[in-house]
Structure formats: C-alpha cells, structure tokens
Amino acid sequence: MKLRFLHFFLCLGLSLLFGSRSYGQKLRTHTIRTGDTPSLITEVYEVTLDDLMALNKDLDDQFVAGKIILIPETIRLKNPIKVPKRVLDHLKKHRVKKGETVFGISSKYEISEAVLRSFNTELINQSLKRGMKLQIPIYRTDFVMSYLGNALKSHVVQPQEGKWGISQKFGISITQLEMINPGIPEVLQEGMRLNVPNQDPINLEVEDINFFYYEVPAKIGFNSLEKTLGFTQAEIEKWNPVVKEKGLLAGMTLRLPRRESEKKVESKNDLAVAISPKEFSDLSVKKLALIMPFQLDKYKLNDSSELIDALSNLSRLSLSLEYYTGMLMALEETKSLGLSVNLDVFDSANDLTTLNKVLNSKYFGNYDVVVGPVGANLFDQTAEKLNKLSVPCIAPLTIPSVLRTNVFQSIPSDLQLKEVIIKQVKGDDTVDKIVIVSDQSNRGVTTNLKEHFPSAQVVYSRLNKDGSDSFFILLDDLKRKLIAGHNLVFLETENVGFVANVASVLNGLITDKISITLATTHFNNAFENENFTSSYRSNLKFRYPSINRPLDMNENENFISKYQETYGDFPSRYAIRAYDLTLDLLYRLGMYSNIEQSIGNPTGAKLLENNFDYQNMPNGGYLNLSCFVVAYDNYELKLLTQ
C-alpha cells in the first residue's frame, strides 16, 4: 500500500497532512523477486524496456533477489507501433530430475517462477519433487501492435549547460531531473547523457506571443523584481515552480505572462456542476455521520517513525482515510452551491465492542443519514439500531446481510452484474460464436449461461488423477471450439492460475481470421493478478460487469487537479466512490429534503465514475440498480454499456 498520510488525529473529525505530488513521484519501485526478468517487469508495469534500462543503468537479465529498482511512468501512444512480443506457442512436458529446483527449471526455459507456477498450480501449495510432470509453456516471438511509448529520452549536456537550464528546457524541476537520473553529479560535464522527458524541448530563445522571458541578475530579490516587472513573489512562483523549490538564483530565466494575455486566462470553476443553488429547495444544514474502521487507538501519534511503518501496512486505515477525503471533496462542492453540511466522523475500529461504544456515545436520531460502517456484521448492527430511530443508513462498500427499511445498498448485487453482461452480449451482433470456459466449482454458473446461450460450447478445466481440479486446459481444448470470425469466450473462475492459463492459450489462438473476446460474469481478484497482463486484457478485449465506469481524465481534470492540490496524491477508487456517493446524497437532501423522497427522481449531480439508481425492494430497503459493462480497447478501459 502506498503511504499517503503521515500524520492524523480524530476528534469531531479528522485533520490530515499530505505531501506534494510531482512528475518524479510517478516513478515507482519494485523489489526484485527470484525469477524476475526485465521483460516480465515491463509486462507487469506496462512500461518499455528502454525506459526501464534508462532508469537502472546496471540492470541486466541476471537479477539479484531483494534489489530495489525504479519503474518508469507508463506512456500510451495515440497510434500503435509494431514491436516484438513473446506469445505462447505450445506446452512441453518436463519430468523433474533429482536436484532440480523451481528457479533452475524456470531459468532453463526462460520463464518466470510465477508463470511456471501458474501452469502448474500444484507448485503453489507443495514443493518440487523428483518425478513430477510439469507443463512448460514454450513461447515464440511475434510482432504485435503496442500502444506503449517511451516516457524518457536521452539528452546530451551542452557547453555551460547546468541542471537548472535542462530542467527549464524540458518543463520539470531540478528535483524531478535528479529523480530520473539517479546518481547525477552536482556539476554536469559537457557530453554527459541524461534522462529527460520524451518531449520537444522549450526553445527559450523564441518569443511566445503570450509570454516573455527574463534573466534574473545577481543580488536581486523578490521586492526588486516586483518593482521592475510588476509581479509578486506568489505570481513568479506560480509560473516558475522551480523558483519556489530552489529559491531565486542569479542566471535563472523566468517565464512570465504578458499583462495583455493575462486577461485571456480564465479561472476554471473548482469543480464542474450540473445544478444551480436555486434548485436546492431545502438549504437547511444537513447532518451526516461517517463510521469507518480507522483503528486510531492502535497507533502512537507522538512517534512518527512507528506511525509511518504502521500506515504502510494497514489497509483499513488507508481505505478509511481515502474515503474520508472523497467525502470532504463533495462537501466542498455543495458548500459552493449554498448547501451547508455538518459531518461527524467516528472510528468503529473493526469489532462490535468498539462499534457499540460509538453508537452509545451520542444520540444518532438527529442525523439525516449515516454512512457506514464497513463489514456486513458491523453495518447490520448499526442499521438495526438506527432503524428504530428512522435514520437512513448507506452501506458504502458492503453488501448488507439484511435489507432493512432504512438500509440503502449502494453496491449492485452480483446477480445484477451478471444480468447486465448477459444482456450486453445478447445485444452484441458482432459475436459469431460463444464458448464457456469454467473450472469445476463454477459448473452451476456454466449451466445458467447455457440457458441464456443454448448454442454455446463448454470447456471445463481438466482433472488431476485423484479427481481434483487441475485448473488447467490445453491449447487444443479451445482451438477446436473456435471458428473464423468473432468468438466470445466466457471465463468463470476465481483461480489465479486458471485465468493466466486460459488467457495465455486464447492469446496464442488469435489470428487474422480468428478474433477472440474474453468476458466473465464475475470480475474478481483472479482477474487483477499480474499474470493476467495488460497485453492479455487488451489483445483479448476483456470485458466484464462493473459497479463503476472508467474515470474520464479529461472531463474530470478539475476534480483530479483539486484533489492532488489538496491531498498530494491521485484520488483512489475509494476517494472517488466516496465523492460520488456523497455528492449524490447531498443533492438528494438539498432537492427533496430526505433521501426517501428522492427515490425515482433525478438529481443532476455530475458524478465521476458511479451512478446511484436506488429502488425500493419488495421486502424493504433500497438497492442501487446502476451498473456498467466495461472493456479494454488498445490498453484503455472503456465503457460499453450502462
């Protein structure tokens, strides 16, 4: 888990302290594991080999386990380029000899240990034994179209060129230049090669119609510059971030806007809105409560080192903090529209004892809505108690065990998700053939799919000699089921190795005449594993039902920028979902006074990834019926249908 929050406290609410985000922080790190290779690393992180080698000069195929390497930024091209790619050709049998190891076998066949285990799932739970028969994937090199581009390029240091000049030329700070050039000396030598962003340099000698350039003379300060140029220190730092970072240095070239053009620069509204304040019929102060498993009592706030270590390994706390920041963004949004909200935040930890203390700590009957807690048992306990007070409870990340009359289930059910993908496939006129691939435990799902697609052919995972599921199929098992044209293959499993196995087989069966789309009715962790690579997802146009649609980065640029400016990081899926859920909720309260009266009525709230179409269920409670079908297209996840 990436560390986002370095200090926090809980009282009536939370106060958070965030770091800043910059270009250099898009670099990631990877600790090399036994069996890793550069090609595998590039697959997992969706980067080019050129960029990986540029950031890690001493890198070669002989990785040392435990070594930490830098991972470059992922860059996607508008148009694909042809690159060599290893694809599965066939499977070879290997009988384990005395003294052989997993590492030795994987090295012999030039595959990673992870790939070897994915094709031989028995190695996950037991050690290698003499006489074992293994399936070895043998790859061939094909040329495929790729949308991955280089984030970096090489720059030769020119005479009298320093760090500041290079950073200005390529639009980055000195710190960012140093981050993409580990070990860079303080004084640069002519002829040195440095990594720089893969973009055209800014020609500081060419006058821009909207900007002018000013070289800072020696022994001059911001007060003198303001008198000379008419720009305050804040304005200079705004247009030249490196000044804020390094201070005002003699010889710096400042890029500043001409006063005439400055009038053309329009300030963007913090967050785009789809409704005006006058459309809120109820502007009374709304009272919300958020109950999440922060578990703050476990940590010593006066010991920063222990706190940082704890934060880096605590998923519940990270989830809670991220969700909280999303809610705060929504509160800021509605505040600008004239709707005031009082938000109280409570720490449920992760146990019923702490939760009951929270519920007994004050009277909850005055809240318009309570959001949370997380976990079916904790939420059910809360909803049962607050049902007596007629207080609506929204389950933000949990599917409740019981839909009481005051319960709003914000996550669509598995049945709804299955129905939406089936409906989408039925309406896809491009599909010529449907094949269902399933492991042994999902035979019931396969039977249900056959009812919807009677002509579909079925392939089950093979069995071991003892009758257990091998979670494995051979290339020929699928090859004879496919036809020339568009084949859609449903894959129903929760097994990581089986997903990797089937994806690899299908990827190797794609030809000019045979098109293959991979789909599933149940997207789960097995499909998020690194062995189900981005190349597989894109090549197979993988589609699945989802509770949210992909985030439109351009359309929601204002939200993303404001979040990064406020909290120092890109908003996580929990922050985005919290923002959407809270904004939708507040629009309902502002327009219809209470959430029950809003059911079936539009709100006009501009949401980022999620929709909330609550419907009253026959046996009580409310269920969000809105879900989506998404698919990969040229490495991008796109919306197919809602």
pLDDT in tens, 563-582: 988 888 889 999 999 999 99
pLDDT at 628: 95
Residue 484 has pLDDT above 60, yes or no: yes
Element spanning 242, H or E: helix 241-246
Q: pLDDT confidence of 363, banded at 50, 70, 90?
A: very high
Strands 622-624 and 407-409: parallel
Element spanning 387, H or E: helix 376-387
* C-beta separation of 370 from 582 below 8 A: no
In whole angstroms, what is the distance from residue 242 CA to residue 236 CA? 10
Q: In terms of pLDDT, which residue wins out, 220 or 587?
A: 587
Q: Which of 161-175, 446-460, 552-566 has the highest mean pLDDT?
A: 446-460
Residue 44 has pLDDT above 50, yes or no: yes
Average pLDDT over residues 524-538: 90
Percent of the chain topping pLDDT 70 = 83
Classify burial at 218, counting beta carbons within 10 Å of its beta carbon; exposed 0-12, middle 13-18, buried 19 or more: exposed
Q: In terms of pLDDT, which residue wins out, 303 or 53?
A: 53
Contacts (Cβ under 8 Å, ≥6 apart) of 399: 376, 409, 411, 413
Percent of the chain topping pLDDT 90 = 43
* Residue the block writes with tokens 């109280």: 344
pLDDT in tens, 117-133: 767 878 877 888 899 99
pLDDT at 587: 93
Determine how many CB atoms are found less than 10 A away from the CB of residue 332. 15
In whole angstroms, what is the distance from residue 300 CA to residue 467 CA? 52
Average pLDDT over residues 82-95: 82
Q: Which of 249-258, 310-319, 366-375, 562-571 has the highest mean pLDDT?
A: 366-375
SS3 content of the chain, % helix, strand, coil (to 5): 35, 25, 45
Residue 262 has pLDDT above 60, yes or no: no
Q: Which of 55-59, 178-182, 259-263, 277-281 has the highest mean pLDDT?
A: 178-182
pLDDT at 222: 84
pLDDT at 380: 95
In whole angstroms, what is the distance from residue 529 CA to residue 499 CA? 9
Q: pLDDT confidence of 89, banded at 50, 70, 90?
A: confident
In whole angstroms, what is the distance from residue 216 CA to residue 225 CA? 9
φ, ψ of residue 428 in degrees (nearest 5): -90, 100
Residue 16 has pLDDT above 60, yes or no: no
Mean pLDDT of the chain, nearest integer: 82
Q: pLDDT confidence of 60, banded at 50, 70, 90?
A: low
Residue 42 has pLDDT above 70, yes or no: yes
Residue 448 has pLDDT above 60, yes or no: yes
pLDDT in tens, 506-524: 999 999 999 999 999 999 9
Q: Walk me through the domains of the chain, giving residue ranges and CATH numbers.
A: 28-72+74-149 (3.10.350.10), 277-412+553-641 (3.40.50.2300), 415-546 (3.40.50)
Average pLDDT over residues 96-106: 90
pLDDT at 609: 94
> Which ranges in 34-162 belong to alpha helices (H)?
38-45, 49-55, 102-108, 113-119, 122-125
pLDDT at 270: 37
In whole angstroms, what is the distance from residue 72 CA to residue 175 CA? 16
pLDDT in tens, 403-424: 999 999 999 989 999 999 999 9
In whole angstroms, what is the distance from residue 439 CA to residue 446 CA? 9
**DSSP per residue, 536-548:** HHHHTT-EEEESS
In whole angstroms, what is the distance from residue 316 CA to residue 613 CA? 28
* C-beta separation of 333 from 271 below 8 A: yes
Average pLDDT over residues 103-118: 82
Element spanning 371, H or E: strand 369-371
Residue 562 has pLDDT above 70, yes or no: yes
| Number of residues written out for the chain | 642
pLDDT in tens, 181-218: 988 888 888 899 999 988 878 665 544 556 666 767 76
Residue 282 has pLDDT above 70, yes or no: yes
